[in-house]
Amino acid sequence: MSDVALPEYKAKDFATDQDVRWCPGCGDYAVLTAMKKMCATLGVDKKDIVFVSGIGCAARFPYYMDTYGAHTIHGRAPAFATGVKLANPELTVFLVSGDGDLLSIGGNHTIHALRRNIDINIILLNNKIYGLTKGQYSPTSEVGKVTKSTPYGSLDAPLNPIALAIASGCTFIARTIDVDVKNMTVLLERGYQHKGTSFIEVYQDCNVFNHQTWFYATQKDTKLDTTIMLEHGKPMIFGAESDKGLRRVGDNVEVVSLGDGVTEDDLLVHDELNLEQAFLLSQMFSPAFPEAMGVLYVNTDKPTYNEMMHEQVQEVISRNKGKTLQALVTGSNTWTVE
């Protein structure tokens, strides 16, 4: 096996002959760039990669990756991806879709894919808006969102994708921003390496229908105060001057300024394996808190559905050696007519 040379690719080897049809300036381009870069370094043959998507702007993704791909129907990509992975566990499966697709029409399939821990990689491009249908509010839009379908402001409370993933039993949960291609590439690779479902939320700019939604988290002058980059085993420090931190207080987390008797030792230390802490991090939103970026939670103990299914099938096969189809069809309760 070690004799087999790993395929060597450049990012451009993953480009297809299709023109990319996203609007100029769309955040999806950055994700495509990161994905191609990441795929080129994986050492996985193109023939063994499948991209799956539902419906929406983000769901055009498979057409732009020169791998196997399926652009399915609205909301159902997690189910399709499940079928692909279970039918051929050797395949590497990426699912790229938007917030409307994965959290609204496809919410049910998303939570069930997450709970099963099938070894697929879900990338949620969250732009808090319906782009392809031209600008209605989405399940992640903030309350009061004024859109064509909500001229007096939306009334729905937004869904929290990270908290949903935690509650669903997801075993790899991360968050990143479209403009941070470098970090996104790292996270995509970690998601790929993780055995089990990986779920990565990408803050993605829809510069036509929801431009500037993520500005607080992407602009130079604000991003360091509104986001925190998590690093496993490191104290949680953020801020333009690296002078702020997160401290545990009772059942909650608070923002503190370093100095005045507060030292790094008082701060929370990021522990990717800590589920309770991951939940606290999932509840932090700007401006009260910095929003958590990086790997929020990892669980390496939970077996994958595909492995368990394989083992069960093998076990049943070995237990039933020698049984013939004819005997099955004949059954144990027959009579003969002369």
Partner 1 sequence: MISSKQAPEHSETPETPETTELPSVSVRFCGDSGDGMQLTGSHFTDIVALAGNDFATAPDFPAEIRAPRGTLFGVSGYQIQFASSEIHTPGDAVNALVAMNPAGFRSNLHTVEEGGIIIVNEDEFDKSNLKKCGYEPDYNPLDDEMINSTYKICRVPMSRLTRESLIKEDEEVSVKDVDRCRNMFALGIISWLFSREIEPTIEKLTHYFGVIKGKPQIAELNTRAIKAGYYFGETAELFPARYQVAPAALTPGEYRRISGNEAVVLGFATAAEKVGKPLFYASYPITPASDVLHGLARLKHFGIRTFQAEDEIAAVMIAIGASFAGQIGITGTSGPGLALKSEAIGLAVMMELPLIVLNVQRAGPSTGMPTKSEQADLLQTMFGRSGECPVIVIAASSPGNCFHMAIEAIRLSTRAMCPVILLSEGSLGNAAEPWLVPDIASIPEIKVSHPQSNGEPFMPYLRDSETMARQWATPGTEGLEHRIGGLEKEDITGTVCYDNDNHARMTLNRSEKIQKLQDIIPDLEVQGSSDTLILGWGSTKGTILSAVEMLRAKGIDVATAHLHHINPFPKNLGEVLRSYKQIIMPEINTGQLRMLIRSEFLVDAVGINNLAGRAFFVKELASEIEEIVKGGAK
The residues of the shown chain that bind partner 1, judged by CB under 8 A, are 16-18, 45-52, 55, 62-63, 66-73, 76, 78-88, 90-91, 108-109, 112, 309, 312-313, 316-317, 319-320, 323, 325-326, 328-331, 333-338
Give residue 157's Cα distance to chain centre: 21
We find the least distance from the C-beta atom of residue 134 to partner 1, in angstroms, to be 18
Nearer to partner 1, 112 or 302 (CB): 112
Following DSSP, what letter does each residue of 177-197 receive, concatenated? ETT-HHHHHHHHHHHHHSSS-
Nearer to partner 1, 78 or 245 (CB): 78
Which amino acid is it at 104?
S
We find the least distance from the C-beta atom of residue 257 to partner 1, in angstroms, to be 47
Nearer to partner 1, 52 or 230 (CB): 52
We find the least distance from the C-beta atom of residue 20 to partner 1, in angstroms, to be 12
Nearer to partner 1, 110 or 218 (CB): 110
Other residues' Cβ atoms within 10 Å of the Cβ of residue 82: 22
Nearer to partner 1, 85 or 190 (CB): 85
Residue written as token pair 């990143």: 176
CB 237 within 8 A of CB 255: no
Nearer to partner 1, 249 or 325 (CB): 325
We find the least distance from the C-beta atom of residue 168 to partner 1, in angstroms, to be 11
Pairing mode of beta strands 136-137, 121-126? unpaired
Rounded (10°) angle between helices 107-116 and 77-87: 30
We find the least distance from the C-beta atom of residue 60 to partner 1, in angstroms, to be 9
Following DSSP, what letter does each residue of 142-180 receive, concatenated? PTT--BTTBTT---PPPP-HHHHHHHTT-SEEEEEETT-
CA distances in angstroms from 274 to 128, 131, 223, listed in the order given = 28, 36, 26
We find the least distance from the C-beta atom of residue 252 to partner 1, in angstroms, to be 34
